[in-house]
Structure 1
Amino acid sequence: MTFQAIAFDLDGTLVDNAGGVALALNTALHEADLPCFDLQRVRGWIGDGPDALIERALRAIDLQDVDTAWLSTRVRRNFDAMVLGLPFAECSIYAGIEKLLEQLGRKNVPLAVITNTPTVLARAVLEEAGLLGCFTTVRGADTAALRMPSPLLIEQAARALGTRPERMLMIGGSASARQAACAAGCRAAWAGWGYGLLGSEQGDTVWRLDTPADLLVRMALPQTRRRGRPAA
């Protein structure tokens, strides 16, 4: 199948930033005199943006007679400051991503980043990682309405790349990214090298990519879709 553009999720797809997210979250919680969480637990909360991340953390803390709305705002402010101050702390680029982006660039494939992370934070992480210049557009969920599984970010990115969602491939590890792709009429691929889970909701719209190099193999070969199953 030929695609006119490719979009990537950020967290757990381009970069393993679970350590950085945990650092930012725990720093923000500590500054609010709240308990911190281990990396494995924080990793399971990543994927729906910082507001959802903080909400999950606060729900896990026994808070009584506390204005959680005010507390969430305070923690979010400190979280953002930490990420902007050290955008790539405790993070790494997944093996094979840089080579993949280089090869796609040689093929002149327009690329986007679509993420539930707010745009300013996503751009800071990508810039620090040295990846920002690989992408034509970066689309983050700056409002709740844009947050995946809403298809709005995918639709915006397709327009920015001069194509339609159905001619674009979305690569991500989270269920919300795949659901957003399906809602937009965009083909999806699961990034098996990250920390997202391939759930039963994928239907027949998902490619399984075990390594970034698998994408180039898939794009070069004709694909057969089987009803009710992922493409083999």
Structure 2
Amino acid sequence: MTTDLRRVRAIAFDLDGTLIDSAPDIQHALNAALKKAGLERFDLDLVRSWIGDGPDMLIGRALAHIGLEEADHELRVRLRRWFDVATLAAPLSLGSVYPGIVALVEALRGRLPMVVVTNKPTPLARAVLEAAGLLGFVEAVHGGDMPAQRKPAPDLLLAAAQRLGLHAPELLMVGDSPLDLRAAQAAHCPAALAAWGYGAHAVDASLVSWRLHAPDELLALLSADQKITQD
């Protein structure tokens, strides 16, 4: 498949697993909430496999794993509140920005507008971005504050394009999961796979316009200003 990057006028980045390796912090927040409820805690590899759908789905997966898929609404609300408190208290004390991301956004600043489109709720996403030193690089943060907005729905990408005054095909989605790329497909945005992220192994090749093995590859593609053939 051949796609022309010259149409791109802005970039939408996913957050967890794309800009930031936040799994250790998400694990900490989840386990802190579960501990307060007297429930089992989980190791990092398992929690990492649950990331991508936002904290409510994360909590739901944890509950299902211990046979509490029918847990009542009150417990889910308490766990979510404790998860948020733990996240806001230490947004990025254990995780880190992926190597090459800071250099990428520094190079793109002033060249192309950047936004973050994430299933993490906006207040939590902004706190993580601020702790990472990345918030000042982006024009806006579009978080999954309501279930219907969350990727793979196109809503967040369409809202980002509209806010930037662009048509959706002018907004490049960069993400690491099937949810990111399916949302891009639904919104008619081009998509680049962050192959260093959590969910890249599960992405169908048909959804990928470009496969990035490191952040600097995106800058190289944009700088080439030519048609790129998918590998």
- Pick the TM interval, shorter chain: over 0.9
Give distance in 2, aligned partners of 1:102 and 1:120. Answer: 23
Give the equivalent residue in structure 2 for 1:228: none
Aligned partner of 1:59 in structure 2 is 64
| Alignment check: 8 A CA contact 2:178 2:203 kept | no
Encode CA deviations 1:108-152: one digit per residue, 9 max, x unaligned.
x11000000000000000011111000001000000110100000
Instruction: Give yes or no for the alignment of 1:179 onto 2:182.
Output: yes
- Could you tell me which runs of 5 or more consecutive residues in structure 1 were left unpaired when the two chains were aligned: 226-230
The structure 1 residue matched to 2:128, chosen from 98, 113, 125, is 125
Where does residue 201 of structure 1 map in the other structure? 204
How far has the Cα of 1:63 moved from its partner?
Answer: 3.5
Aligned to 2:101: 97
Q: Deviations over 1:181-213 (max 9, x none)?
A: 000000000001222224353415431000000
Aligned to 1:84: 88
Change (3 A) 1:117 1:224: same
Equivalent position amino acid for 1:92 in 2: S
Aligned to 2:49: 44
Amino acid at match of 2:27: A
With structure 1 as the length reference, what TM-score do the two structures score? 0.93
TM normalised by structure 2 equals 0.93
For the residues of structure 2 that align with 1:214 and 1:154, how far apart are their CA atoms?
22
The structure with higher relative contact order (CA 8 Å, sep 6+) is: 2
Structure 2 unaligned segments of length 5 or more: list them: none
Q: Report deviation, 1:162.
A: 1.7
1:73 corresponds in structure 2 to 77
Percent of aligned pairs sharing the same letter: 47
In 2, distance between residues paired with 1:135 and 1:162? 15
Deviations 1:44-95, CA, capped at 9 Å, x for gaps: 000010011000000011349x743221111001000111111112110000
Q: 1:204 to 1:80 in 2, by over 3 A?
A: closer
Residues 54, 72 of structure 1: 8 Å contact kept: yes
- Matched residue SS, 2:50: coil
Asked if the contact 1:172/1:190 (under 8 Å) is kept, the reply is yes
CA drift of 1:96 comes to: 0.4
Change in CA separation of 1:200 and 1:144 when aligned onto 2, cut-off 3 Å:
closer
Q: CA deviation at 1:165?
A: 1.0
Residue matched to 2:37: 32
User: Which SS does the other structure have where 1:34 is aligned?
Assistant: coil
Rate the CA distance shift 1:204–1:70 in 2: closer, same or farther, 3 A: closer
SS in 1 for 2:192: strand
| 4+ aligned runs moved over 6 Å, structure 1 | none
CA contact (8 A) 2:171 2:190 kept: yes
Q: Offset at 1:224?
A: 4.1
Is residue 121–residue 145 contact of structure 2 (8 Å, CA) maintained in 1? Answer: yes
Q: Secondary structure at the match of 2:219?
A: helix
